[in-house]
Structure 1
C-alpha cells in the first residue's frame, strides 16, 4: 500500500520525530510504498536514520535563505492559538501544506500533531485514507485546540491514540463520530546494547523543558546523593531550561553529581552504560524513552503521569511507579534500586521482556491491519466498520 507520513520538521530531534521515522522505516522494510513529508525543512540532514526506501519530501524548504513564500512572515489563520507549534504555522506554511495535501493522489495519509491533523481534516481529498496520530493526549490541549479537534476530527477516517486511556477519552469527547484506535509507538529495534548494572549511574533523557520535570528530579537526586554520594545522574538532551537546571544543580551543590550531557545520537549506547533510568515528567503521551530504557535492560523509577507510564510499568514487576510529581517518592524509589542489586537485575530482565511487545514488526502489523480496514471501508460498496471498533487493544 501507499503511505505518506507527515511531520512538521522531519529533520529535527524529538520523540515524535524518532517514532514516526521508526514507523516509516518499518513499513518501507515490509515492502510498502512510503513517503515522509517534512512540512518545513531547516537542516541539511535528518537527525535520525531514514531507510533509503523512504521517499523524503520537503513541503517548505527554509534552509539558509530568506523565505520567499507569499505570506511567510504573516501569522497563519487556520491552526488555532494554543497549538504548541503555532508560530511555525505562518500563512505561507499553511498554504504550502494545503497545496501539498491537495496534490496527493491516493493511499493513506498519516499526520502527526494537532495543527497538521486539523489541516488534513479540512483540506485533504476524501480519496485519501486520512489518519490522525495523537502523540500527546487530548486532556493536555488548550481550549481553542480542543474545540477545533472536536469540530474537525470527525471529517477524518481515524484518530489513533498511543494509550488506551486517551482512546477512551477521544471516544467520549467525539461521541463515536470518527473511528478511533489505540496503537503504541514502536521501538526502532529489539537489538540494543544491554546494561550490566555495574555502573553507579542513573540516567534520564528528553528535552530540557518544564514538561520533563528535571527541575523535580534534581532536588530528588540531592536526597539520593545524601545516602549514596558515589552515584551520579546523567541528563541527556537540550532545551530552553538548561540555564535554570544548571542553577538548580549549583543550589543543591550537585556539580559533582548531576551532569547535563547535551543531546546524543547514540542514546541506546548511553543507556546501556547506566544502571537505572529515572522518568520525572509532569505529563507524557506515551514515553518511548521508558521502552528504550527497558529494551536496554534498565530498571526504571517513574512518576505515574496521567497517561503513559502506567500502561508500560507495573510496580514491582518491571519497574517502580511513584505518585505523580512526588519528588520524595522518586528519591526513595531510586534509593531502593541502588541498594538492591538483585531487584535491579530482576526488574531489568522483566523490562526487557516487556519491550518485546513493542518491537517494530509487532506494531507494524497492527498499523497494517488498521490501514487495510480503512481502505476497505473507502471502497465503493464496502460496509464501513463501526466507528470505534477494530485495532484498539
Structure 2
C-alpha cells in the first residue's frame, strides 16, 4: 500500500510527531510510506526520519531558504483559511489561505491508498478536500474529546462523518466519541501511539533520582509535583528530582522551587532529545498530569525499565499502568497522594525492581510494529466495508550493485577496495559511559564501509593532533556494530570540547559522527580516578545532532557538592581531587573579581580530613567587597591549601552527567547575592543589590 501521513510540522519534537515517525517507520517495512509536512521550518527534522520513509514539505517557512524555494513572501500566508476554524488556525499562524491551497493541490494529486490526518485542522482538510477521492481517509485524535474548544470540537464532529475512520489513542476516549456521535457510521476505533523500545541500557534502579519529562504547561501539573517533592525531600534529602522540558511555566516553577527551598533538590533540566537516555538514569518516573490522552512518556519510561508513579487522570495512565504491578496510580490533583506514591517506591527497593521488570513487559504492547499491524487490520476492514480489495504490501526492492547484479561477487581485491571507497561514510553512533568510566562507542554498520577505519577525537578551537583510536568491525568483535573504547586511564584529553570523526585511510574520507544516543547513566555515582591530574568526561549530543565530548583536565579540582544559601552567608561543602590537605592545613577560599565594582577578598576554609572541606562566605563580606553600589559585582572562587602559598585550585561543580551546569544548577537571590556556575562549571558569586 501507499500510506501518507499529514503532519502540521514534521520538523518539531512533539508527541504526535514522535508517534507518527515511529508508526510510519514500522509500516515502511512492508509498504510505501510518506510523511507530508504542511510546513517546513528548519533544514532537517529534529527527530531522525525512519529508514524508507519519504518526507515531503508543502510550504517552506525557513528564513534562510534558498532563493525561489521560500514561501515567506507569499501574500496568501496572511489571508485567513476558508476551511479551518479560527481557534485552530490561530489567526493565520497555523492555517491560512496558502495552507488551504497547498493541501487541496496535494490531496488532488496524491497517489496514496490511505491518507491519515493527525490534528484537527488537517482532519477538517481531509474531510472537505478529499471527499471525492478514491483513497481511504483516516483522522486521528491525539487529545481527549472534551479538551478542544467548542469551535474546534464542532468542526471535527462535522468532519468525522466524511471519513472512513477516526481513531483515538485510548479505548476510553473512543467510547466517549461513540457516545457523543451515536448516528455516525464512520468507524470510531482506538489505536494507541507507537513507542519503540529504547536502544539504551535500561535503568538498574540504583540512582536516587526521579525523572519527569514533558512540556512545562498547566495541564502537566508540575506545580503539584514540586509541592509533593517538598514532602519527599524532608524524609529523603539524598533523593533528587529532575524535570525535563521547556514551556511557559518554567519561570513560575523556578519561583516555586526557590520559595520552597528546593533548589538543591529539584532541577529544571530544559528540553532533551532523545529523552530515553534520561529516563534510564532514573529509578522512578513521575507523571502528574490533569489529563493524558495517551501517555507516551509513561511507555518511554517503562521501556527503559523505570516504574511510573502517575495520576489516575483521563484517559491514558489507567489503560497503560496496572496499579501495583508495573507502576502506581495516585489520585489526580492531590500533591499528598503523589508524595505518598513516590515515597512508597523510594522506600521499597525490592518493589522498584519487580515493577521495573514488569514495566518493560508492559511497554512491549506499544511497539510500533504492533501498532502498525493494527493499522493494517483496520485498513483491510475499511476496504472490506467499501467492497474493495486492500492493495498488496510493497516490500522495498533490493538495489543492484552498480555495474552488476545484486549480490554479484567482486572480481578482484583492487575492485573490492574501489567499491568500498565509493560507498558512503555516514557514521551514526551511540556512546555509553561504562561502569568504570570508559567510553564505549558503537557505530551502526549502515553507511560505514572500508578497511582500517579509525575513530578520532578532535579538540574544538585547540592545538594538537587528533586522538586516534582503532575501530573494530562487526566481524572482528562478534557484535553487530563497529566499536571503539576510549579508556579514561590511558587517553589523556586536554580540557575543552571534542568532536568525534570516522576516518577512512583508503580515500582520506573523514566524517563527523552523528549521535544516536549519548548514555551518561554510568556517570551517576562515578568518582574521578585518584591522583593528579584531575580529569572528567561527559559525552553529549550537540544542538545539530553530532556526538561530542566535554572534557575537564586540571592539576587539581575542588568539587562543590553542596552550595547552600544559609541565613548568614553562602555555605559550600566539597571534596578535593588531585591534591590533599596536609595535617596542619590552613586552606583559604579566594574571591577574585571578574566583573563590575568588586575587590578581592579571602574566606577561611575548614579542612575535614585530607580531602573534604567546608566554608561559608558571609553576605556582609560580599557587600563590603563591592567598590560602590552601582552595577552588579561578580567574583569567582578558588581554593588555596594555605593562606600564603599554593597554586589556586578552581572550585566548581563538574562531576556527574550534566554538561552545562550553568543552565541547570540555579540558586535563588538571597540578601542581594546569588551563587552560580560558569560555562565551565566554576563557582562564582554575583552581588546585584546594595546591602539592606
TM-score computed with the length of structure 1 as normaliser: 0.93
Any idea what the Cα deviations from partners look like across 1:274-300, whole Å, max 9, x if unmatched? 100000111111011100111111111
Separation (CA, whole Å) in 2 of partners of 1:27 and 1:380: 21
Aligned match for 1:95, one of 71, 88, 101: 101
Contact 1:129 1:378 in 2 (8 A): no
Corresponding residue for residue 110 of structure 1 = 116
Separation (CA, whole Å) in 2 of partners of 1:380 and 1:197: 52
Separation (CA, whole Å) in 2 of partners of 1:53 and 1:76: 33
Separation (CA, whole Å) in 1 of partners of 2:87 and 2:176: 20
Corresponding residue for residue 385 of structure 1 = none
Corresponding residue for residue 33 of structure 1 = 32
In structure 2, the residue corresponding to 1:88 is in which secondary structure?
A: coil
Separation (CA, whole Å) in 1 of partners of 2:278 and 2:267: 13
Corresponding residue for residue 215 of structure 1 = 223
| Runs of 4+ off more than 4 Å | 379-382
Contact 1:236 1:262 in 2 (8 A): yes
Give the drift of 1:381: 9.7
Corresponding residue for residue 140 of structure 2 = 133
Corresponding residue for residue 282 of structure 1 = 290
In structure 2, the residue corresponding to 1:361 is in which secondary structure?
A: helix
Corresponding residue for residue 186 of structure 2 = 178
Q: Structure 1 stretches of 5 or more lacking a match?
A: 383-393
Separation (CA, whole Å) in 2 of partners of 1:46 and 1:168: 35
Give the drift of 1:32: 0.5
Separation (CA, whole Å) in 1 of partners of 2:168 and 2:388: 28
Corresponding residue for residue 346 of structure 2 = 338
Structure 1 or 2: more helix by fraction: 1
Separation (CA, whole Å) in 2 of partners of 1:230 and 1:149: 49
Alignment of 1:23-172 (within 5 A): 23-28=23-28, 30-64=29-63, 67-83=72-88, 87-124=93-130, 125-172=132-179
* Residues 109/381 of structure 1: CA separation in 2 closer, same or farther (3 Å cut): closer
Q: Structure 2 stretches of 5 or more lacking a match?
A: 65-70, 391-692
In structure 2, the residue corresponding to 1:71 is in which secondary structure?
A: helix
Any idea what the Cα deviations from partners look like across 1:88-112, whole Å, max 9, x if unmatched? 1122223222222222233100110
Give the drift of 1:75: 3.0
Separation (CA, whole Å) in 2 of partners of 1:298 and 1:52: 28
Query: Which of 1 and 2 has greater Rg?
Result: 2
Separation (CA, whole Å) in 2 of partners of 1:287 and 1:376: 32
Separation (CA, whole Å) in 2 of partners of 1:118 and 1:306: 25
Separation (CA, whole Å) in 1 of partners of 2:137 and 2:166: 9
Contact 1:60 1:93 in 2 (8 A): yes
RMSD value over aligned CA atoms?
1.8
* Residues 279/285 of structure 1: CA separation in 2 closer, same or farther (3 Å cut): same
In structure 1, the residue corresponding to 2:101 is in which secondary structure?
A: helix
Contact 2:10 2:40 in 1 (8 A): yes
Separation (CA, whole Å) in 2 of partners of 1:375 and 1:69: 40
* Residues 312/43 of structure 1: CA separation in 2 closer, same or farther (3 Å cut): same
Give the drift of 1:35: 0.4
Give the drift of 1:192: 4.2
Contact 2:3 2:114 in 1 (8 A): yes
Aligned length: 381
Higher relative contact order (CA closer than 8 Å, sequence separation 6+): 1
Contact 1:12 1:43 in 2 (8 A): no
TM-score computed with the length of structure 2 as normaliser: 0.53
Contact 1:190 1:356 in 2 (8 A): no
Give the drift of 1:84: 7.9
Separation (CA, whole Å) in 2 of partners of 1:32 and 1:85: 35
Corresponding residue for residue 274 of structure 2 = 266
Separation (CA, whole Å) in 2 of partners of 1:314 and 1:263: 29
Separation (CA, whole Å) in 2 of partners of 1:306 and 1:231: 29
* Residues 232/84 of structure 1: CA separation in 2 closer, same or farther (3 Å cut): farther
* Residues 213/323 of structure 1: CA separation in 2 closer, same or farther (3 Å cut): same
